[in-house]
Amino acid sequence: MAVSPTLLWFRQDLRLQDNPALNAAVARGGPVVPVYVLDDAAEGRWAPGGASRWWLHHSLAALDAALREKGSRLLLARGPAAEIIPALQTATGASAVFWNRRYEPAAIARDTALKAALTAAGVETRSWNSALLFEPHEVKNREGGPFKVFTPYWRHCLTLPVTEPGRAPAGSILAPARWPGSLALAELSLLPRIRWDAGIAAAWQPGEAAARERLKRFVAGAMADYADQRDTPATAGTSGLSPALHFGELSPRQIWAAVRAAGKARGVFPPGKGAQVFLAEVGWREFAYHQLFHFPHTPAEPLRAEFARFPWAEDPGGRRLQAWRRGRTGYPIVDAGMRQLWHTGWMHNRVRMIVASFLVKHLRLPWTSGAEWFWDTLVDADLASNTLGWQWTAGCGADAAPYFRVFAPVLQGRKFDPDGTYVRHWVPELAKLPAEFIHAPWEAPASALAEAGLTLGGKYSVPIVDHAEARAAALAAWRSLRTEPAE
């Protein structure tokens, strides 16, 4: 007896390898109908931003090509998935709908309602974990609740087994006798109308194959020195896998397996300090999802309730926010990071911390303003990681840096970019300044400025705030939280 089709709903799992929903659909035995639905409305305020949409366009193209090599294809639709998925189920005669789970609050609400509706209609509806090493609801502290501090969370996780990644389906994927209608990729309108994406295109290659190759190169090369090189923005010392992880072109199980294989070859796991620190960074991503799942209000509200009354500064006309966005603050390491972000859709993690600290502490502007900008400009914009990172910097989240820890941008620049290589690349107007002045051009004598062809306040901005004054104001604002408001 022929098995009816399975509708396979792709989301943030745009790969063939280690895709449990895909493997289950193939194992079921009938035709498989893969579909991706662009459902911006269901995402609420967190629909993919401009840079993410660029990546998504190319990742969908790569997935469709990979499916076609297996004798299948990717259907595309746009609109409410809660309506489109049931309609496709009916149109294809599918008796099962499979997908891999997401953990964002809006996605959970949508998926829960959809699963209930499909099940009530007699449709087999199943979902799997493909995005995380550990399900957020399964990791609990001694009291049976969620962890709020990373170190005990990760220590506990390291005692748990990690599932081996699954392989891509062998052979072809059985296609339906008749394909339902599909939008063309261009009809999703994911690419910008004004083509600002040249820098992103030059820096990145989306897709599962590129992600696997990047992982292979990193494990064989830069991972060994990751512990020492990951904080140096001028060095290619990080994995660059965050976009692939967000879009599911690669799973954390595949990363774990690759590091474990490297350790097996050397007789130890993890194979060195670099690998241990790298896996801990994967752990921070897990911790971010753990927090988002248990505290779904945090993308817009602080986890620590007292920070809801933090006295943020006024910014008439948004001038300071705009200067920060465009890399025109007058602090070279900050400006370099913001320009790298604008040009490539990515920023080195150390510099992310520096620019975030500058926004919330030097400019005393809300962390949500930074989170929203990152959401629109990062190719790896991920609601869990973005929220955790910004609340960490603002001191208002789980296991956060204390608010009184104010990164001094000049000192940070001199420590992590000592010869100014990173700044010279992204702030070329400072390229001819001697290294001793590259992170504080206002300290350079007139002769050095003239020789570099530089006029402060002209070719390059003067600092929009004084570090010492801004730090004092930030600490005063923080201290005000420690005094209960008057009745």
Q: Could you confirm whether 9 is annotated as catalytic?
A: no
Give, to the nearest 10 degrees, the angle between helix 367-377 and helix 383-394. 150
Torsion region of 267: left, alpha or beta (phi above 0 gives left; psi -120 to 50 gives alpha): left
Catalytic option among 55, 373, 375, 390: 390
Q: Could you confirm whether 349 is annotated as catalytic?
A: yes
Q: Could you confirm whether 281 is annotated as catalytic?
A: yes
Distance CA 79, CA 85 (A): 10
Bridge partners (DSSP) of residue 36 are: 10, 76
Catalytic option among 367, 375, 426, 478: 367
In the numeric block, the tokens 């910004």 are attached to 390
Residue 77 in contact with residue 88, Cβ under 8 Å? yes
Q: Could you confirm whether 284 is annotated as catalytic?
A: yes
Cα dihedral sign for 39, 43, 44, 50? negative
Q: Which among 311, 389, 381 has a CA at the least distance from the CA of 350?
A: 389
- Helix (H/G/I), strand (E/B), else coil: 407: coil
Distance CA 158, CA 470 (A): 41
Q: Could you confirm whether 129 is annotated as catalytic?
A: no
State both tokens at 10: 């792709």
Distance CA 131, CA 290 (A): 12
Provide the CB-side half-sphere exposure for 139 (13 A, CA).
30
Bridge partners (DSSP) of residue 38 are: 78
Distance CA 293, CA 16 (A): 26
Q: Could you confirm whether 256 is annotated as catalytic?
A: no
State both tokens at 283: 């752990």
Q: Which among 90, 118, 93, 96 has a CA at the least distance from the CA of 28?
A: 96
- Helix (H/G/I), strand (E/B), else coil: 131: coil
Catalytic option among 128, 301, 349, 442: 349
| ∠ CA 14-348-326, rounded to 5° | 100
Looking at residue 358, the DSSP 8-state letter turns out to be: I
Kindly list the catalytic residues. 281, 284, 312, 349, 367, 390
